Amino acid sequence: MELGLHTFADVSLTSGPDSVSPEKRLSNLMEEIELADQVGLDVFGLGEHHRPDYAASAPAVALAAASQRTRNIRLSSAVTVLSSDDPVRVFQQFATLDLLSHGRAEIMAGRGSFIESFPLFGYNLEDYDDLFAEKLDLLLRIRESERVNWSGSRLTAPINNRGVYPRPVQNPLPVWIAVGGTPQSVVRAAQLGLPLALAIIGGEPARFAPFFELYREAAQRAGHDVSKLPTSINVHGFVGETTAQAADDFYGPQAEVMNRIGRERGWGPTNRAHFDRSIGPDGHLFVGDPEAVAEKIIATHRLFRNDRFMIQMAIGELPHSKLMKAIELFGTRVAPIVRKEIPKK
């Protein structure tokens, strides 16, 4: 199983001596990706957002910078909000990243859990799903062929036998579909024969296991070789020297972010008691000492039979020094335990 990290590059919303500006956050991000590569992690994902609390509105640019400071780690969006982007430009950007990284780029495409990009780029939220379906189809056609013919629609412009350049090192350039637990999205990925990444940010992970069974059944019905379709679990978590220290370090930043987003969406507030339950064996947070986190990853793999596990540790205003230590522990102590039990394919 591959092990990786992902982040949205959170920044401070207030000023002060300990605040993190976008400039500082992106500088820290380069150090985090470089360290993840050095300790042997397999993949690093960077999410696209268009909000004041995140610095990563252009993941391909930041990942391209990271490609020059790393050697082995795969570099992925997490996610590209394809519905409000131009598939031609998305392909060109990640093909360029693939060339710069000598074949380490990936696209993780999603419909977007935040909606800021739709009015920003002039799209109607009523077309939310239709936009994604059409643009994903176009992206896959561009990936398949250097020259593209696209009839277009009211949502997308036609392309008449035009070449799309540059072409990437990898053929095909990996495209994953990211979902948040919508059965229709799971089935779409399966029917297209695309790898599936499932985000679990609440509830018991066990209740999401049927989505992977649905995915594999739908892929098989569509005629795809299920053994060649990787799956990923994307979660929140943190690693510390002790479980108590990891929980104390992670709770404040994670709770602040979840409560801020919750106020926007009408969720109830979280609290420490809820957090402590969530880091238990059946909870969705992977927080603890290296042995505890490794044990939970292994137990989750028994449920999902997933090929990749990605953890978002950089949440909110978590201090950079603590995050760097957590990355080190994840790569040097968690990963060896997991890989001994679940080797990479």
Quick check: 17 pLDDT over 90? no
pLDDT of amino acid 75: 99
Q: What are phi and psi of 51, to 5 degrees?
A: -135, 160
Over residues 224-247, mean pLDDT: 98
The domain that holds 156 is classified in CATH as 3.20.20.30
Task: Give yes or no for residue 25 having a pLDDT over 80.
Answer: yes
**pLDDT given for residue 146 in this prediction:** 97
Q: What is the pLDDT of residues 322-345, one digit of tens each?
A: 999 999 999 999 999 999 999 876
Using one digit for the tens of pLDDT, what is the confidence trace for 262-297? 999 888 899 999 999 999 999 999 999 999 999 999
Q: Which domain holds residue 320?
A: 2-341
Report residue 33 as tokens.
């990706």
**What is the pLDDT, as a whole number, of residue 154?**
87
Mean residue pLDDT across the chain? 96
Q: Give the CB-side neighbour count of residue 161, counting CA atoms within 13 A.
A: 0
Report the alpha-carbon angle 228-67-80, nearest 5.
60
Query: What is the pLDDT confidence band of residue 254, given thresholds at 50, 70 and 90?
Result: very high
* Total count of domains within the chain: 1
pLDDT on residue 240:
98
Q: What is the pLDDT of residue 181?
A: 82
CA distances from 345 to 52, 64, 84, 300, 342 (A): 39, 27, 34, 17, 9
The residue assigned the tokens 């990290």 is 5
pLDDT at 152: 85
| In the predicted structure, residue 142 carries a pLDDT above the cut 90 | yes
pTM of the model: 0.97
- Residue 126: what pLDDT? 94
pLDDT digits (tens, 9 = 90+) for 54-110: 999 999 999 999 999 999 999 999 999 999 999 999 999 999 999 999 999 999 999
Q: Which residues pair with 75 in a beta bridge?
A: 44, 105
Band of residue 112 on the pLDDT scale cut at 50, 70, 90: confident
Tokens of 7: 């982040």
Q: If you average pLDDT over residues 252-259, what whole number do you get?
A: 95
Rounded Cα distance, 158 and 192, in Å: 22
β-strand partners of 312: 236
What DSSP string describes 8-48? --B--SS-STT---HHHHHHHHHHHHHHHHHTT--EEEE--
Segment 169-195, tens digit of pLDDT: 999 999 999 999 899 999 999 999 999
Element housing 200 (H / E): strand 196-200
